[in-house]
């Protein structure tokens, strides 16, 4: 093992390979920043090129693209409230308000730094803890997925600004929207209204763009533009340093978010979007200044970004150890491994040890490269918002249109995006935050599959109760759900009591 | 001065696009008249997600296709509805040979049967070639009490409906396999559909389902974690030579997922012929065949004619089976 | 006059009812989850409805908005999408960008000349065409009129 590691270290520092990987990271950042281009697409596109490369080089380039694209998603999220990838949903919550306050560079640097921390965390877990964690991931069966989704839904309380009831309505609507398309069990065509394209269901990124981006664009132009009111970015000295110093003082936040991201990544089927939302939720829960979240604070951006980059390393854990991809881009990596003649499993760490360790080391390095690029790039990228509104607003619409088309090469998706954009605008004015709706849409399939598959398991074993309520991990998750619901209620009651006491005194 | 430069750049770009756009459309018309084919890049649509088995196969073929056809081949994805969205688009395309899509059996047969409006009909899928088979087999975890198919069936008979069998999707290859086994062995199993082969495998390895009707490429991947009780091929599967076929064990079950490539209906036979030649060359390439086998697929080489016949033959078998299942459901 | 909370809860209630009704055609396993969710949506909407009727307050969510501007943008997007189907990505993109760059540009003291707006739009459309079509091989719509 040490021998392999030493060999790998030499390999990683090979100038040509290093250069190619840096290009991979840079390309990945661009892919991530443009809505409609996904890490999965970029990786698939590169696979034929890897025929011509040796195994280590090709894996290093692919790893670089994967890492870069996860970070790139935050750029559009912060600057124009459009999650470039679903993984950066939670980044919009505080990132965009920061931009509106003229702190775009702060947000971008915070994202780069926390992405780097999260990415390295995930990569180290991948390097040292893969086999035991992969075994643990297998313990996740249908009932566990169901409870995981329920636990995820408790985030609604955090996401609904103002009325929790409206949040719940939005969440239920999102869950309902997630059932459009072919039923996972039974194979019915549900709510397709005669559109054969809807057999595929609603594409998450298309709905996301609609709900998050179109309302913002309309906001930009709904009143006569007054150039004095528009947020601008002026380069200042020392922003990057002060942001990083600020984050270093919050190791708990970064480590917690990274750990959540890695954990979610390891569980196959739960991706970076869930990781970022959960980490955001926990950041709010543990914070002493809960009310500041959503108004544009660094903590929100850091939680989301560190967890979605940690998720990358996590998603490769079951892939390399068991051949089960933890997320869609990881599936393409699996394809690339196979083409190189490598099989996931223990062999990877023995027969192909040189290649595997080179890849794992390069993964740590890719995260550092990503940080450096993000760190120095932020001040240039932030200038995008200095474009006059009459150029920026149409440009963003233009990008959302081609983005929602490109994701599945489907014209109907563009119509759906615009439709949900309009709905998002109206509902936002009526006090519904898009967060819970999107959360329902993300967690719906996981909840439904888990629920129905568990019911089939219960039918076979003869006890529904045993399937749902007696499995150890399920019990832990149920406890999490209860705590998650109970704590805010208790603290609200306490707060009210204190108020009354104060009033009486 | 700066303004002028800017203007110039923009107009050059604009011009370049108009030229590029016109160029391709005129070539297009020529192709239809004289059947000079191919004269421009060909789109190869994968109706599934990137990184899936269909994608890997197409990526394997891509460089060779470009070599034999002399034109770039662009792979794009139109996933959704278990492939249905991609096939619905395929049959609506202009039949000029520049748009082809991968197809899977039994998907293209069962979807139009089952769904009110899948967006296409089975006979509209105009096959060029079939090049790969994924054979379905029955697997249990290594620590399972069942060591043979006989053990398994005995246990299922003792407690009907108590054994769970995971598989990818509803009315798919694995589901059909399970239905056929139930019917022929006179047993009742509890089939649990998963959203793909990977989650089904995960559930088997984690012990959440007791057995799995799995694809051969997954069955070869975990020799030290699972036991394969039987495989639904005609003869023993080369990648798993020790596993007896279902037929050897007394059940006439042959289920596979067959992958091929198709063009829109009404495509000029001359064009189909050209594509067919390229695909057949690749399908008969020893190197490609060895790679497929190593990955757990069975390489096959059926030309357009054979593919068409094969689809017709399978359609009959599956329609019959589907009717029985539907009738049972209603009871 | 109904307030926005009453309207939204009634709308959600209708969606829940519609989903419940449509789920009647599905198989047992296919209809279970949608119906559970539809019931939940109905309960939440009813609660919201009750609350909105109890605490009647005037809400003006669309105050201060120049409806004309919003409608023109939405109409513009719709036209853009329709145009893209017919004449493809390039022409529709240039026209859409140019029109709104000029249209909203009237808000500024220094207005943008129509010709300049057109050139900027052409450059942007071309740039993204290269990125999407040539680098990432995404087949952008060519338009029905041009044989797409």
pLDDT in tens, B209-243: 999 999 999 999 898 899 999 999 999 999 999 99
What chain B residue is nearest to C147 in terms of C-alpha separation? B25
CB–CB of B190 and A460 under 8 A? yes
CATH of B38-133+257-324 given 3.40.50.970, 3.40.1160.10, 3.40.190.150, 1.20.1050.10 = 3.40.190.150
The C-alpha atoms of residue A405 and residue B61 are separated, in whole angstroms, by 27
CB–CB of B10 and C139 under 8 A? no
ipTM of the prediction greater than 0.85, yes or no: yes
The C-alpha atoms of residue A207 and residue A378 are separated, in whole angstroms, by 28
The C-alpha atoms of residue B94 and residue B78 are separated, in whole angstroms, by 17
CB–CB of B198 and A331 under 8 A? yes
- Structure token pair of residue B293: 């086998």
Three-class HEC string of chain C = CCCHHHHHHHHHHHHHHHHHHHHHHCCHHHHHHHHHHHHHHHHHHHHHHHHHHHCCCCCCCCCCCCHHHHHHHHHHHHHHHHHHHHHHHHHHHHHHHHHHHHHHHCCCCCCCCHHHHHHHHHHHHHHHHHHHHHHCCCCCCCCHHHCC
Length of chain C: 148
Domain boundaries, chain C: 4-54, 67-146
The per-residue pLDDT for A186 is 76
Element (H, E) at A50: helix A39-52
Q: What average pLDDT does this structure show over B89-99?
A: 92
| Cβ-based contacts of B74 with chain C (< 8 Å) | 137, 139
Are A334 and A50 a contacting pair, CB within 8 Å?
no
Q: Of B10, B21, B43, which is closest to C119 when you measure between CB atoms?
A: B10
CB–CB of C147 and B25 under 8 A? yes
- Structure token pair of residue B154: 């005995």
Are A370 and A68 a contacting pair, CB within 8 Å?
yes
- Structure token pair of residue B331: 């009871």
* Packed helices B107-114 and B304-330: angle between N→C axes, nearest 10 degrees: 40
> Domain B134-255 is in which class?
alpha beta
How far, CA to CA in Å, does A19 sit from each of A16, A60, A322, A366, B206?
A: 5, 10, 30, 11, 40
Q: Phi/psi at A466 (nearest 5 deg)?
A: -60, -40
pLDDT over 90 for what percent of chain C? 58
* Packed helices A164-177 and C28-54: angle between N→C axes, nearest 10 degrees: 160
B54 touching chain A per CB within 8 A: no
A136 touching chain B per CB within 8 A: no
B71 touching chain C per CB within 8 A: no
The C-alpha atoms of residue A143 and residue A148 are separated, in whole angstroms, by 9
Three-class HEC string of chain B = CHHHHHHHHHHHHHHHHHHHHHHHHHHHHHHHHHCCCCCCCEEEEECCCCCCHHHHHHHHHHHHHHHHHCCCEEEEECCCHHHHHHHHHHCCCCCCCCEEEEEEECHHHHHHHHCCCCCCCHHHCEEEEEEEEEEEEEEEECCCCCCCHHHHHHHHHHCCCCCEEEEECCCCHHHHHHHHHHHHHCCCCEEEEECCHHHHHHHHHCCCCCEEEEEHHHHCCCCCCEEEEEECCCCCCCCCCCCCECCCCCCCCCCEEEEEEEECCCCCHHHHHHHHHHHHHHHCCHHHHHHHHHHCCEEEEECHHHHHHHHHHHHHHHHHHHHHHHHHHHC
> Distance from A288 to chain C by nearest Cα, in Å?
30
Contacts made by residues A377-384, CB under 8 angstroms, sequence distance 24+: A377/A29, A377/A108, A377/A112, A378/A105, A378/A108, A378/A109, A378/A112, A378/A240, A379/A105, A379/A235, A379/A239, A379/A240, A381/A75, A381/A79, A381/A108, A382/A79, A382/A104, A382/A105, A382/A108, A382/A233, A383/A233, A384/A79, A384/A80
| Cβ-based contacts of A181 with chain B (< 8 Å) | 80-81
How far, CA to CA in Å, does A66 sit from each of A14, A31, A61, A312?
A: 20, 10, 9, 8
How many Cβ atoms are within 10 Å of A312's Cβ, its own excluded? Answer: 34
Q: Nearest Cα to B219, choosing from A449, B211, B251?
A: B211
The C-alpha atoms of residue C142 and residue A359 are separated, in whole angstroms, by 41
The per-residue pLDDT for B26 is 43
Q: What average pLDDT does this structure show over C28-44?
A: 94
CB–CB of C137 and B9 under 8 A? no
| Cβ-based contacts of A388 with chain C (< 8 Å) | 105, 108
> Distance from C135 to chain B by nearest Cα, in Å?
11
Q: Nearest Cα to A108, choosing from A339, A340, A370, A361?
A: A370
B247 touching chain A per CB within 8 A: no
| Cβ-based contacts of C148 with chain B (< 8 Å) | none
User: Which chain A residues in 434-463 lie under 8 Å from chain B, judged by CB atoms?
Assistant: 445, 449, 453, 456-457, 459-462
* Packed helices A214-221 and C67-105: angle between N→C axes, nearest 10 degrees: 80
Q: What average pLDDT does this structure show over B279-284?
A: 96
Q: Nearest Cα to B280, choosing from B132, B70, B168, B154?
A: B132
Residue with the bigger pLDDT between A39 and B149: it is B149
Other chains touching A, judged by 3 or more CB pairs under 8 Å: B, C
pLDDT in tens, chain A (505 residues): 677 777 888 877 888 888 999 999 999 999 999 887 888 888 887 877 777 778 888 888 999 999 999 899 999 999 999 888 889 999 999 999 999 999 999 999 999 999 999 999 999 999 888 888 888 889 999 999 999 999 999 999 888 767 889 999 999 999 999 999 988 877 888 999 989 889 889 988 899 999 999 999 999 898 888 877 777 888 888 888 899 999 999 999 999 999 999 999 999 888 889 999 999 999 998 988 888 999 999 999 999 999 999 999 999 999 888 888 877 788 888 878 877 778 787 788 888 888 888 888 888 999 999 999 999 998 889 988 888 899 999 999 999 999 999 888 889 999 999 999 999 999 988 889 899 999 999 999 999 999 999 999 999 999 999 999 999 999 999 999 999 888 877 877 887 788 777 777 6
Q: Is A45 helix (H, G, I), strand (E, B) or coil?
A: helix
The C-alpha atoms of residue B89 and residue B93 are separated, in whole angstroms, by 6
Q: Of B13, B94, B329, which is closest to C126 when you measure between CB atoms?
A: B13
Other chains touching B, judged by 3 or more CB pairs under 8 Å: A, C
Report the sign of the C-alpha dihedral through residues B115, B118, B120, B126, in that order. Answer: negative
Are A122 and A264 a contacting pair, CB within 8 Å?
no
DSSP string spanning A151-198?
HHHTTHHHH-SS-HHHHHHHHHHHHHHTT-EE-TTT--EES-TT-GGG
Cis peptide before B38 (omega within 30 of 0): yes
CB–CB of C147 and B9 under 8 A? no
CA B307-B309-B313 angle, to 5 degrees, is: 115
- Structure token pair of residue B191: 């089939």
The C-alpha atoms of residue A307 and residue A293 are separated, in whole angstroms, by 17
Residue A282: left if φ>0, alpha if ψ -120 to 50, beta else—which one? alpha
Q: How confident is residue B24, by pLDDT bands cut at 50, 70 and 90?
A: very low
State the alpha helices, DSSP H only, in A101-141.
Answer: 104-138
> Distance from B34 to chain A by nearest Cα, in Å?
30
CB–CB of C33 and A452 under 8 A? yes
What chain B residue is nearest to C30 in terms of C-alpha separation? B170
CB–CB of C123 and B13 under 8 A? yes
State the alpha helices, DSSP H only, in A233-352.
Answer: 239-248, 251-266, 272-286, 298-322, 328-339, 346-349
CB–CB of B193 and A184 under 8 A? yes
The per-residue pLDDT for A29 is 93
CB–CB of C85 and A187 under 8 A? no
Q: Phi/psi at B76 (nearest 5 deg)?
A: -130, 165
Residue A344: left if φ>0, alpha if ψ -120 to 50, beta else—which one? beta
The C-alpha atoms of residue A77 and residue A384 are separated, in whole angstroms, by 13
The per-residue pLDDT for B200 is 93
What chain B residue is nearest to C25 in terms of C-alpha separation? B116
Query: Which of B3, B7, B10 is the best mutation test for C, with the most CBs of C within 10 A?
Result: B10
Task: Look at strands B99-105 and B226-231 and give their pairing.
Answer: unpaired
The C-alpha atoms of residue B235 and residue C19 are separated, in whole angstroms, by 49
- pLDDT higher than threshold 60 for residue B104: yes
CB–CB of C137 and B74 under 8 A? yes
The per-residue pLDDT for B6 is 54
Domain boundaries, chain B: 38-133+257-324, 134-255
A172 touching chain C per CB within 8 A: yes
């Amino acid at each position: 093992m040490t021998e392999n590691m030493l060999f790998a270290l030499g390999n990683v520092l090979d100038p040509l390979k290093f250069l190619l990987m840096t290009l991979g990271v840079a390309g990945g950042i661009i892919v991530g920043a443009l809505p409609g281009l996904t890490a999965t697409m970029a990786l698939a596109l590169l696979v034929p090129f890897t025929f011509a490369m040796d195994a280590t080089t090709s894996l290093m380039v692919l790893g670089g693209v994967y890492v870069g694209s996860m970070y790139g998603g935050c750029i559009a999220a912060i600057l124009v409230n459009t999650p470039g990838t679903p993984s950066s949903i939670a980044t919009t919550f505080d990132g965009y308000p920061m931009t509106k306050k003229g702190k775009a560079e702060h947000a971008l640097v915070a994202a780069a730094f926390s992405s780097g921390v999260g990415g390295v965390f995930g990569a180290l877990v991948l390097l040292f803890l893969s086999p035991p964690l992969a075994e643990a991931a297998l313990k996740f069966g249908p009932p566990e997925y169901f409870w995981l989704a329920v636990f995820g839904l408790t985030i609604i309380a955090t996401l609904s600004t103002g009325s929790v009831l409206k949040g719940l309505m939005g969440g239920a609507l999102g869950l309902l929207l997630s059932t459009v398309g072919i039923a996972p069990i039974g194979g019915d065509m549900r709510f397709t209204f005669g559109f054969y394209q809807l057999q595929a269901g609603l594409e998450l990124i298309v709905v996301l763009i609609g709900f998050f981006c179109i309302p913002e664009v309309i906001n930009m132009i709904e009143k006569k533009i007054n150039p004095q009111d528009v947020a601008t970015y002026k380069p200042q000295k020392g922003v990057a340093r002060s942001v990083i110093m600020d984050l270093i003082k919050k190791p708990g936040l970064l480590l917690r978010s990274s750990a959540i991201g890695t954990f979610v990544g390891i569980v196959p089927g739960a991706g970076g979007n869930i990781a970022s939302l959960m980490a955001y939720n926990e950041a709010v829960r543990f914070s002493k200044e809960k009310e500041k979240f959503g108004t544009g604070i660094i903590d929100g951006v850091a939680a989301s970004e560190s967890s979605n980059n940690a998720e990358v390393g996590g998603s490769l854990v079951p892939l390399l150890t068991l051949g089960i991809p933890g997320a869609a881009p990881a599936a393409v990596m699996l394809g690339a491994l196979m083409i190189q003649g490598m099989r996931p499993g223990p062999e990877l760490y023995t027969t192909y040890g040189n290649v595997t360790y080179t890849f794992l080391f390069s993964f740590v390095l890719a995260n550092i490269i990503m940080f450096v690029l993000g760190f120095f790039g932020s001040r240039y990228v932030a200038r995008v918002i200095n474009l006059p509104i009459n150029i920026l607003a149409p440009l963003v619409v233009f990008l959302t249109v081609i983005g929602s088309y490109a994701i599945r090469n489907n014209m109907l998706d563009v119509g759906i995006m615009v439709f949900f954009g309009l709905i998002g605008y109206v509902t936002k004015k009526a006090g519904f935050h898009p967060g819970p709706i999107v959360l329902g849409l993300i967690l719906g399939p996981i909840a439904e599959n888990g629920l129905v598959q568990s019911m089939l398991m219960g039918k076979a074993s003869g006890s529904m109760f045993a399937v749902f309520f007696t499995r150890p991990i399920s019990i832990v998750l149920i406890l999490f759900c209860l705590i998650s619901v109970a704590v805010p209620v208790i603290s609200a009651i306490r707060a009210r009591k204190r108020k009354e006491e104060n009033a009486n005194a | 001065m700066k303004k002028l430069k800017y203007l110039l750049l923009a107009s050059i770009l604009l011009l370049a696009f108009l030229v590029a756009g016109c160029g391709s459309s005129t070539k297009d018309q020529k192709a239809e008249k004289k059947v000079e084919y191919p004269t421009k890049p060909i789109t190869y649509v994968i109706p599934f997600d990137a990184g899936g088995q269909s994608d890997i196969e197409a990526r394997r073929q891509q460089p060779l296709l470009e070599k034999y056809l002399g034109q770039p081949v662009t792979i794009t994805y139109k996933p959704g509805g278990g492939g249905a969205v991609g096939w619905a688009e395929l049959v609506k395309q202009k039949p000029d040979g520049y748009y082809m899509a991968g197809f899977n059996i039994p998907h293209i047969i069962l979807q139009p049967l089952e769904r009110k409006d899948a967006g296409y009909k089975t006979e509209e899928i105009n096959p060029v070639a079939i090049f790969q088979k994924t054979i379905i087999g029955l697997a249990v975890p290594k620590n399972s009490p069942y060591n043979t198919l006989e053990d398994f069936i005995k246990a299922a008979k003792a407690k009907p409906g108590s054994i769970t069998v995971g598989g990818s999707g509803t009315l798919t290859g694995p589901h059909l396999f399970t239905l056929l086994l139930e019917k022929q062995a006179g047993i009742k199993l509890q089939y649990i559909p998963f959203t793909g082969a990977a989650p089904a495998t995960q559930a088997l390895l984690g012990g959440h389902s007791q057995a799995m009707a799995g694809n051969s490429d997954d069955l070869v991947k975990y020799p030290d974690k699972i036991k394969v009780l039987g495989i639904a091929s005609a003869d023993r599967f080369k990648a798993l030579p020790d596993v007896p076929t279902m037929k050897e064990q007394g059940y006439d079950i042959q289920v596979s997922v067959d992958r091929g490539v198709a063009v829109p209906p009404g495509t000029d036979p001359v064009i189909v012929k050209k594509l067919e030649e390229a695909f057949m060359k690749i399908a008969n390439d020893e190197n490609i065949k060895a790679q497929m086998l190593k990955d757990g697929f069975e390489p096959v080489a059926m030309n357009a004619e054979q593919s068409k016949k094969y689809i017709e033959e399978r359609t009959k078998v599956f329609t019959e089976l589907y009717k029985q299942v539907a009738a049972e459901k209603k009871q | 006059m109904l307030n926005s909370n009453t309207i939204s809860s009634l709308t959600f209630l209708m969606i829940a009812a519609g989903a419940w009704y449509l789920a009647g055609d599905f198989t047992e396993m296919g209809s279970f989850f949608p119906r559970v969710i539809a019931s939940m949506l109905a309960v939440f909407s009813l609660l919201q409805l009750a609350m909105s009727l109890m605490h009647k307050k005037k809400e003006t969510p669309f105050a201060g908005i120049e409806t004309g501007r919003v409608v023109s943008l939405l109409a513009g997007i719709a036209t853009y999408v329709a145009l893209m189907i017919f004449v493809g990505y390039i022409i529709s993109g240039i026209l859409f960008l140019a029109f709104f760059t000029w249209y909203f540009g009237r808000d500024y003291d220094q207005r943008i000349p129509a010709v300049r707006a057109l050139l900027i739009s052409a450059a942007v459309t071309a740039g993204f065409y290269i990125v999407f079509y040539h680098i990432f091989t995404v087949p952008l719509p060519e338009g029905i009129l041009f044989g797409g």
